[in-house]
Amino acid sequence: MIRKILVAATLAAPLLATPAFSAAELGKEESCKYQGQVMAAVQQARLDRVAEDKVEETIRASDPEWPENFSNAIPQLTQHVYQMKRRDLKNIDLGEIFETQCVDNWDQIQEMKKNLSGN
């Protein structure tokens, strides 16, 4: 179950984030690092028992260090993370997993984005 959610989230988050910086400007490692930080923040909100409808507000209020456009993925990631049991989230680092999957699948994600935009 975790794998299915992470695969879906890995593909969805970069596509939902409005690119204030292009992938070329940020680069794979930096972009994936930010995506991992967003996922980790959502996971921490779940572990901290933040109400699902307050996650985005709570994370944005914490003044995260990633570029603002990465926060656009919070609602989508929240839906996936909040479907998981808290006990399952206690022993994994979704941020690290998400970042690794992003790096590993970078070329495929960029190709998908390109195809979806019609370029």
Give the containing element (helix H, strand E) for 94: helix 94-104
Report if pTM > 0.85: no
How far apart, in whole angstroms, are the C-alpha atoms of residue 50 and residue 60?
13
pLDDT at 22: 55
pLDDT digit string (tens) for 72-83?
A: 999 999 999 999
At position 30, the amino acid (one-letter code) is E
Residue 105's contacts (CB-CB under 8 Å, 6 or more residues apart) are 10, 11
Q: Which two tokens stand for residue 39?
A: 């996922």
- Please provide the distance, in angstroms rounded to a whole number, between the alpha carbons at the two ends of the chain: 34
